[in-house]
Structure formats: C-alpha cells, structure tokens
Amino acid sequence: MSHSTELSLEQQFNIRSFETQVKSMSHEQAQEFLVKLYEQMLLRDNMYKDFIRHQWGIDTPPRI
C-alpha cells in the first residue's frame, strides 16, 4: 500500500475518537449527522473541482 493511502497515527486516533462520539448518538442524531456530512462532502468536491478548473485555466466565462 502506498503511503498516500495510509492513515497517520493522528488520523487513526481521530477515527477512534469519532467512533466514540457516534456510538453515543441516538438513531435520529446519527441520521441527521450523516446527511450533514454528505452535504459537506459534496461542497468539498465542488471546491476541489473549482480549484482544479482555476489552476488549469479552464474556468467558465461569466454568464451574461
């Protein structure tokens, strides 16, 4: 496995901490949390796409 796909010790610790927090959530809280997390993942994807478009100079011209 390459180093870029391995988790650091700090990331592994954060996963265990996250796991503890999730286990104490109610079913409804966990569902709400997952929906919010998914929304944030989509927003992050959009930011990455915009950043790459900008870096590669393929920004779309402003609409009139």
The pLDDT of residue 24: 95
Segment 4-17, tens digit of pLDDT? 789 999 999 999 99
The pLDDT of residue 59: 79
- Residue with tokens 């915009």, as numbered in its chain: 50
Give Cα separations from 57 to 33, 37, 44, 54 (angstroms): 36, 30, 20, 5
Segment 46-64, tens digit of pLDDT? 999 999 999 998 876 666 7
58 — phi, psi (to 5°)? -115, 30
The pLDDT of residue 1: 53
Average pLDDT over residues 30-52: 96
Average pLDDT over residues 34-55: 95
Report CA torsion sign: 34, 36, 49, 51: negative
Token pair recorded at residue 7: 């988790």
